[in-house]
Structure 1
Amino acid sequence: MVLWCKRGGAAMAAFAMVAVLTTGCGPRSGGGTAAGSADEVRPAARSALSGYLAGRLAQGVGDSRSAADYYAQALKHDPDNTELLQRTFSLMAAEGRLDVAQPLAERVLAFDADQPLPLVVAGLGAAQAGRWAEAEAKFAQLPKRGINAILGPLMVAWAKVGAGDQGAPLALEALAKTKGLEPLAAFHGALIADIGGRVQVAEDGYRTALSTQLSVRGIEAAGSWYQRTGRLDEAAKLYSRYQGDHPDSMLFDAKRLLSQGGGIAPVVPDARAGLAEALFDIASLMRQGNASDVAMLYARLALWMRPDLPLAQTTVADILVGQGRLAEANRQYLSVPKGHPAFTYGRLRVAINLDELNDTEGALSALDELARERADSLEALVTKGDILRRRKRFAEAATAYDQAVGRAGVLQSHHWALLYSRAICYERSKQWPKAEADFQEALRLKPDQADVLNYLGYSWVDMGMHLDVARKMLEKAVELRPRDGAIVDSMGWALYRLGDYHGAVRYLERAAELKPEDPTINDHLGDAYWQVGRVEEAMFQWLRANSLEPEPEQIESLKDKIRTGQVPAKPVVRQQ
């Protein structure tokens, strides 16, 4: 008997395949699926086999939360199955369900004492219980290779701090001697010295850590140190330096930090927070290396040790977005403490996700509210413009960008993108003089910006204006981004409009190689082939373009060319 249960997302079709092995509707244990629904129920596994198969299928469609639950159900039916045990543990840990994962880690270690992830989880569990010697022993067993060669010394050092062992700095010596890891070792050495009141050691460590890179956490930690030691001017200089290098950063607020004066709290107040910091650093390294699943795991572990770590909360939410789990991501973004700048970033991301979930009006309403609350900020208005532009509501988008420009005051080089976005919306809403002015001002702020050169140069060619300058702009854009299919297409299509069909073919063939799935590029290449007498190839390109989901305004033109086998007459542009 097939028993259907309420379920959202693609996984239901897969679960139907094993429904004959299941019975009853069991409640969810929390969270959502890949789509993020929180109120689902699923069939309860009647046997180890049905739970295992359902878990495999759930994993196959990206529903790792359901997979963890199914494996857990299977494990209850077959508690001695080591494969089920390891699968359940790994997924529970990756999903941040560490209350379930911790006892499973101990069971894994009972038959394989050297598995790295169970050692980490078991060690963290011991640390939470204040059993620091046990935690250190677990961390010391981590293999001295791969990412564990970095994580192990950090965790051992912080376990020593928790135990009151003065040998914590010695645990970092191996990292400090490893090329490329000196700043990381120096940063954690400074945090440890900061907690211990070793003033000069802490200052030297912060300086070393910041000598090669300016991370948000490094800036916050060193700045907090300066403020607590009565050196507010040095803190202000450090913050200004970071904001100068990262003018668009939404995760840092110097004014908020400086307002706390010398009473600001240390970034890492104790050993548990130090463990969380180490785990977050590993998550950041993994994310930089595009290992998002591993980054998610370590960010979850960091939050287990310190639930109020905003950047780790944001990291988890960002990765959930990449997994398509938008509703879950929104809940995570909104869990960030309201006073932290990451909360504002999160609200912007929530609005973007609402739009992706087809609640565009909800997204716009949320952004309007944020824009009213943050009258000194551009981000909500820019994000509103971006959403409206994506929805092809160009006149409304231009108005939102216009309001953002009004708030910006004196425009700086990094504002070129705002002007570029507004210019596109002006152009698409038939306000060319305003568009042209914005494109030119964007180039003044940021000369040799390929996107602006491409858009303005092509627009001038299409209108027969400033042809020599326009062609040079497009050539420059191609030189700057020779592997950008859209820009190479613009150069080819400009040559086509100028009547240089053989030159157009060369560029358009290259564009089609770079971006073979683009219907516009294939359409353009078909037209160019037709003009040079390669009629059969032209027909192939038009048919291909028509199969690639062209824009609605392209469809009739493509159908006409496919039906007639020729390009409608279109005059070559001449200088106006």
Structure 2
Amino acid sequence: MTVKGGAAKRSFAAALAVTAALALSGCAGLGSSFGQSARNTDTPFGNYLAGRYAGAERDLDAASSFLGKAMEQDPDNSVLIERAFIVAISAGDMDEAAALAEKSLETGGEERLARLVLALSALKSGDYEDADRHIREAAPGPFTALIGTLTRAWAAAGQGDGDAANAILDTFKGRPAFELFRAYHAALIAEYLDQPEAADTAYREAVSASAGASLRVVEAYGRFLERTGRTDEAASLYRDYEALSPEHPLMKANLARIAKGTKPEPLVTHPAEGAAEALYGLGSALAQESGLDLSIVYLQLGLYLRPDFDVARILLGDIYERAQDWKTAITTYEGVDSSSPLRPNADIQIAINYDRLEKTDEAEARLRDLQERMPGSIDPVVALGDIFRAQELYAEAAKEYTKAIGILGEVGPENWSVLYARGVCYERLKRWPEAEKDLKRALVLSDEHPLVLNYLGYSWVDQKLNLDTAMEMIRKAVDQRPQDGFIVDSLGWAHYRLGNYEEAVKHLERAVVLQPDDPVINDHLGDALWKVGRKIEARFQWRHALEMKPEEDLVPQIEAKIEYGLEGAGARQRGEADLPEPANGTEDKGA
């Protein structure tokens, strides 16, 4: 059926309004009606629904296809155009996005993002006047105000007008939230226009505004210092950042470059690259605040302006991982240049995502290859160990961690987690003396990290060893991480082992609230509830623990407790002759 006429369009618009209302409660709001609508691909509304659903599932190829069909039937529908426009940007199809931006303006759709895309396209092609015009004609908005202003500043810089660029940036003065953007882009523009004194002043302001914690500011200023012969200052800047982010691959590459005496290019050599920095900065900020979909849009725009922007590509891959879109994350990481210092990190994440897709052989092959290419790096070794440990292949994992420790020679504070991970594996393999040795060393090297405090303390409690010390360690861990269900569970279990059953119940009930899907915590709560006479509740927790598919060795223990009660299960395990009859489960202190 072809949709024609005003009445049909009004009907479609009304249907879209209903869909928008449903979308406020998530895509599940489409419910079972989606299947019928998806099959009816002769209607623009059916294709719209299918495209919207595919977009929500991040199947952007399918979303683009469905929306394209809908637009063939209703080519001037601004809602369809806007949706297809967003999908095109999210998929990184900027040619299609630019075409849809033009169409969106013609049909009266959302114009701010459309004009931003057209401005960026003009900036990339060197049409700085047109870039400026699109931003000036755009309606004001919170994000376009920031990116639009910076785009205009770079358009002015592209025309060689530093005074105009600075005047545009000065509109940010007095607005603390934008101060770092202002100082950083003033520095980049001054360096681009060959104004070293102004660049140096602005870079110092940017470093101060970011407290030296901005990777891009450190990269840009460090390169500037290297290029102006101030390599000692550059090296100091890089090392200060390394103190915040140890072993950062870009800082290692920068320091290696200084050692070779090679001068780098400026971080930004074209106005489009400057605008890409702005888009990355906003995309990064949104990603930290859970604005993942909008962050993807800005990062894709940044990559359009600067395809070799590997830092942005790594962040984009990380966002897809957070969205559990492992396949798209792999594709994104594959785009990192093979010569980039960030490529090994990308390869490790690709392997991790293959494992998440249950393609562990591919993950292992990728990491083995990386180990061969980087024999002096522990990163691919530890990553493979982590994959094995997550799959409960503790012996294989311990071998990888031992290999990593061999590469290190001597484990320092920055690598305490390798000892901790191997200690966990040894504990699971019932090689307790070796586990205890590793965990004790990790405790010292980590300056009593809560994970180590908890694991070592819990292990002691579980074996009824060093109970007073263990209790003190677990309390420290809880003080540091009061919202961690596993650590709170340890405190409850320590009280249980000490016979403080009422106190154990209090902490274990809270642990279940914090970590409701863990079978061990639910099993522990069942034990504690039984001890205080709440036996119906205890059996409920044990049954709940069984439903969560605990480790195989726990299953018969939990089943025995359900059938015979806590004491009866213990008697059966000890092989005592006079076994109690199965309990009927009706007794309960609170009943």
- Residue 300 of structure 1 deviates from its aligned partner by 0.3
Work out which of the residue numbers 91, 94, 104 in structure 1 matches 2:90: 94
Partner of 2:36: 17
The AA in structure 2 aligned to 1:538 is: A
Contiguous gaps of at least 5 residues in structure 2: 1-27, 572-591
**What CA distance in whole angstroms lies between the structure 2 residues aligned with 1:152 and 1:508?**
52
Report if the CA contact (8 A) 2:561-2:569 is conserved: no
Work out which of the residue numbers 103, 106, 119 in structure 2 matches 1:123: 119
Report if the CA contact (8 A) 1:48-1:74 is conserved: yes
Partner of 1:207: 204
Q: Deviations over 1:414-459 (max 9, x none)?
A: 2221111111011112221111111111111122311111111111
- Residue 566 of structure 1 deviates from its aligned partner by 3.8
Report if the CA contact (8 A) 2:520-2:550 is conserved: yes
Report if the CA contact (8 A) 1:439-1:456 is conserved: yes
Q: TM-score, normalised by structure 1?
A: 0.88
Partner of 1:249: 248
**What CA distance in whole angstroms lies between the structure 2 residues aligned with 1:547 and 1:425?**
26
Measured at CA, do residues 463 and 419 of structure 1 come closer, stay the same or move farther in structure 2, by a change above 3 Å?
same
Report if the CA contact (8 A) 1:230-1:262 is conserved: no
**What CA distance in whole angstroms lies between the structure 2 residues aligned with 1:219 and 1:484?**
34
Partner of 1:488: 488
- Residue 397 of structure 1 deviates from its aligned partner by 0.8
Work out which of the residue numbers 37, 50, 55 in structure 1 matches 2:51: 55
Three-state SS of the structure 2 residue aligned to 1:341 is coil
The AA in structure 1 aligned to 2:124 is: Q
Q: Deviations over 1:370-411 (max 9, x none)?
A: 122112221111101101101111111111111112222343
Range with bigger deviation, 146-155 or 267-276: 146-155
Report if the CA contact (8 A) 2:160-2:193 is conserved: no
Once the two structures are superposed, the pairs formed by residues 444-483 of structure 1 within 5 Å of their partners are 444-483=444-483
Q: Deviations over 1:535-555 (max 9, x none)?
A: 122122222222333333322
Measured at CA, do residues 228 and 482 of structure 1 come closer, stay the same or move farther in structure 2, by a change above 3 Å?
same
Three-state SS of the structure 2 residue aligned to 1:382 is helix
- Residue 357 of structure 1 deviates from its aligned partner by 1.5
Three-state SS of the structure 1 residue aligned to 2:301 is helix
**What CA distance in whole angstroms lies between the structure 1 residues aligned with 2:516 and 2:326?**
30
**What CA distance in whole angstroms lies between the structure 2 residues aligned with 1:123 and 1:181?**
21
**What CA distance in whole angstroms lies between the structure 1 residues aligned with 2:310 and 2:142?**
27
Three-state SS of the structure 2 residue aligned to 1:269 is coil
Partner of 1:197: 194
Three-state SS of the structure 2 residue aligned to 1:210 is helix
**What CA distance in whole angstroms lies between the structure 2 residues aligned with 1:404 and 1:536?**
49
Range with bigger deviation, 118-127 or 140-149: 140-149
**What CA distance in whole angstroms lies between the structure 1 residues aligned with 2:289 and 2:38?**
39
Partner of 1:544: 544
The AA in structure 2 aligned to 1:171 is: I
Measured at CA, do residues 52 and 14 of structure 1 come closer, stay the same or move farther in structure 2, by a change above 3 Å?
same
Report if the CA contact (8 A) 1:250-1:342 is conserved: yes
The AA in structure 2 aligned to 1:249 is: H
Three-state SS of the structure 1 residue aligned to 2:308 is coil
The AA in structure 1 aligned to 2:128 is: W
Range with bigger deviation, 152-161 or 259-268: 259-268
The AA in structure 1 aligned to 2:326 is: L
Determine whether 1:110 maps to 2:106: yes
Measured at CA, do residues 111 and 530 of structure 1 come closer, stay the same or move farther in structure 2, by a change above 3 Å?
same
Aligned residues: 538
Three-state SS of the structure 2 residue aligned to 1:338 is coil
Partner of 2:230: 231
CA RMSD of aligned residues (A): 2.3
Report if the CA contact (8 A) 2:287-2:319 is conserved: no
Measured at CA, do residues 143 and 288 of structure 1 come closer, stay the same or move farther in structure 2, by a change above 3 Å?
farther
**What CA distance in whole angstroms lies between the structure 1 residues aligned with 2:170 and 2:269?**
22
- Residue 499 of structure 1 deviates from its aligned partner by 2.2
Measured at CA, do residues 513 and 53 of structure 1 come closer, stay the same or move farther in structure 2, by a change above 3 Å?
closer
Determine whether 1:171 maps to 2:190: no
- Residue 107 of structure 1 deviates from its aligned partner by 1.4
**What CA distance in whole angstroms lies between the structure 2 residues aligned with 1:80 and 1:352?**
44
Determine whether 1:69 maps to 2:56: no
**What CA distance in whole angstroms lies between the structure 2 residues aligned with 1:506 and 1:275?**
55
Report if the CA contact (8 A) 2:560-2:569 is conserved: no
**What CA distance in whole angstroms lies between the structure 2 residues aligned with 1:199 and 1:129?**
26
Q: TM-score, normalised by structure 2?
A: 0.86
Measured at CA, do residues 317 and 264 of structure 1 come closer, stay the same or move farther in structure 2, by a change above 3 Å?
same
**What CA distance in whole angstroms lies between the structure 2 residues aligned with 1:409 and 1:208?**
41
Partner of 2:22: none
- Residue 412 of structure 1 deviates from its aligned partner by 2.6
Three-state SS of the structure 1 residue aligned to 2:265 is coil
**What CA distance in whole angstroms lies between the structure 1 residues aligned with 2:477 and 2:377?**
32
Determine whether 1:83 maps to 2:83: no
Partner of 2:179: 182
- Residue 307 of structure 1 deviates from its aligned partner by 0.7
Three-state SS of the structure 1 residue aligned to 2:335 is coil
Partner of 1:533: 533
- Residue 169 of structure 1 deviates from its aligned partner by 1.2
Determine whether 1:341 maps to 2:341: yes
The AA in structure 1 aligned to 2:487 is: I
- Residue 188 of structure 1 deviates from its aligned partner by 0.7
The AA in structure 1 aligned to 2:544 is: R
- Residue 567 of structure 1 deviates from its aligned partner by 4.2
The AA in structure 1 aligned to 2:298 is: Y
- Residue 298 of structure 1 deviates from its aligned partner by 0.5
Q: Deviations over 1:445-500 (max 9, x none)?
A: 12231111111111112222222211211122122222211111111112212222
Report if the CA contact (8 A) 1:143-1:149 is conserved: no
**What CA distance in whole angstroms lies between the structure 1 residues aligned with 2:492 and 2:444?**
26
**What CA distance in whole angstroms lies between the structure 1 residues aligned with 2:334 and 2:84?**
28
**What CA distance in whole angstroms lies between the structure 1 residues aligned with 2:458 and 2:295?**
42
Report if the CA contact (8 A) 1:14-1:58 is conserved: no
**What CA distance in whole angstroms lies between the structure 2 residues aligned with 1:288 and 1:425?**
33
The AA in structure 1 aligned to 2:491 is: M
Three-state SS of the structure 2 residue aligned to 1:375 is coil
Three-state SS of the structure 2 residue aligned to 1:508 is helix
Report if the CA contact (8 A) 1:175-1:182 is conserved: yes
Once the two structures are superposed, the pairs formed by residues 135-534 of structure 1 within 5 Å of their partners are 135-166=131-162, 167-211=164-208, 212-252=211-251, 253-258=253-258, 261=261, 263-534=263-534
- Residue 144 of structure 1 deviates from its aligned partner by 4.4
- Residue 344 of structure 1 deviates from its aligned partner by 1.0
- Residue 61 of structure 1 deviates from its aligned partner by 3.8
Percent identical residues:
38
Three-state SS of the structure 2 residue aligned to 1:217 is helix
- Name the one with the larger helix percent: 2
Three-state SS of the structure 2 residue aligned to 1:147 is helix
- Residue 531 of structure 1 deviates from its aligned partner by 1.2
**What CA distance in whole angstroms lies between the structure 2 residues aligned with 1:553 and 1:93?**
50
Contiguous gaps of at least 5 residues in structure 1: 1-9, 23-45, 572-576
Measured at CA, do residues 238 and 98 of structure 1 come closer, stay the same or move farther in structure 2, by a change above 3 Å?
same
**What CA distance in whole angstroms lies between the structure 2 residues aligned with 1:490 and 1:403?**
31
Report if the CA contact (8 A) 2:113-2:144 is conserved: no
Report if the CA contact (8 A) 2:124-2:271 is conserved: no
Measured at CA, do residues 262 and 194 of structure 1 come closer, stay the same or move farther in structure 2, by a change above 3 Å?
farther
